[in-house]
Amino acid sequence: MVVAESKPIGEILEMIKDCKKVLVAGCKGCVTVCNSGGEKEVGILASELRIARKTSGNDLEVLEYTCERQCDPEYIEPLDDLVKEVDAVVSIACSVGPQYIAARYPYLPVYPGLNTVFIGGSVEHGVFKEYCQACGSCIIGDFGGLCPVARCAKQLMNGPCGGSSGGKCEVGRGEIDCVWHLIYERLKNLGQLHKLEEPWGYKNWATSREAGPRTMIREELRK
């Protein structure tokens, strides 16, 4: 899923400081799963904003709505009536959401209430880790199913580097697993260590963001 986290409340307050009425729009997709932008978080953020502004003697009216998703135009539609009343929208979807809202309402300010951090998953309750960088041509089949692009700090295709110590990466003060150590152990388990004996060639980054914003077209769905 896309993993996102709340922006500091002060940053959101600063963005909407000139507004009298805003809509906080959540999303029932990924950000609900990672507990940062679902119905519950919409309620919490709305209350926080109201209280903060009340305390500063500058009341703010806050509407609340949680979209089925914010990454499909039809699910933005339900906001049509609500946005007529507000000065701005604070979207707490991943950063796709505010951009869909901006596209639908050309004259309405929209602000992100979250920082979108990565494509990943939870490893235990409340802990999320990055697993993918959406490079556009998956190579993990060569590496025991583990991704060096997303999970190696240096994106090595021929690791582990000299900074791998006791299974940990030198980056991150011992908090990050050395994915190359994991790749090594996994290929050993699979009896495929020979895969690491040949230099891994050049990665084609043209499928990645490097070639500009990407569009995926599924002709069979388009008809």
Partner 1 sequence: MTVTAGSKLEKILKSGQKAVTCECGPPRGADAEHFRHKAQYLKNCADAVNVTDNQTAVVRFCSMAACRILMDMGIEPVMQMVTRDMNRIALQSNVLGAAALGIKNLLCLTGDHHTFGDHPQSKNVHDLDSVQLLDCVRRMRDEGKMISGTEVEGRPAMFIGAAANPFADPFEFRVVRLAKKIKAGAQFIQTQCIYDMERFGKFIEMANDMGLTEKCYILAGITPFKSVGMANYMKKFVPGIIVPDEYITRLKGVPKDKVAEEGIKIAVEQIQQCLEMKGVAGIHLMAIEWEEKAPEILEKAGLLPRPQVD
Tell me which residues in 200-219 interact with partner 1 (CB under 8 A): 200-203, 205
Give the residue, chosen from 171, 190, 206, 211, that forms a contact with partner 1 under the rule CB under 8 A: 171
164 binds partner 1 per the rule CB under 8 A: yes
Give the residue, chosen from 157, 177, 195, 207, that forms a contact with partner 1 under the rule CB under 8 A: 157
The distance of closest approach from Cβ of residue 132 to partner 1 in the complex, given in angstroms and rounded to an integer, is 16
184 binds partner 1 per the rule CB under 8 A: yes
Give the residue, chosen from 57, 126, 162, 212, that forms a contact with partner 1 under the rule CB under 8 A: 162
Give the residue, chosen from 3, 96, 159, 179, that forms a contact with partner 1 under the rule CB under 8 A: 159
Stretch that binds partner 1, among 22-30, 72-80, 129-137, 195-203 (CB under 8 A): 195-203
Stretch that binds partner 1, among 89-97, 99-107, 131-139, 196-204 (CB under 8 A): 196-204
Tell me which residues in 9-38 interact with partner 1 (CB under 8 A): none
Q: What is the C-alpha to C-alpha distance for residues 64 and 71, in angstroms, rounded to an integer?
A: 18
160 binds partner 1 per the rule CB under 8 A: yes
The smaller minimum CB distance to partner 1, of residues 10 and 201, is found at 201
DSSP string, 121-166: EEEETTEEEEEE---SS--GGGGTT--HHHHSTT--SS---TT-BT
Query: Which residues, other chains included, contact 206 with Cβ-Cβ below 8 Å and sequence gap of 6+?
Result: none
Give the residue, chosen from 120, 121, 161, 186, that forms a contact with partner 1 under the rule CB under 8 A: 161
Stretch that binds partner 1, among 33-41, 84-92, 118-126, 166-174 (CB under 8 A): 166-174
Tell me which residues in 126-155 interact with partner 1 (CB under 8 A): 153-155
Binding site for partner 1 (CB under 8 A): 153-167, 170-171, 178, 181, 184-185, 193, 196-203, 205
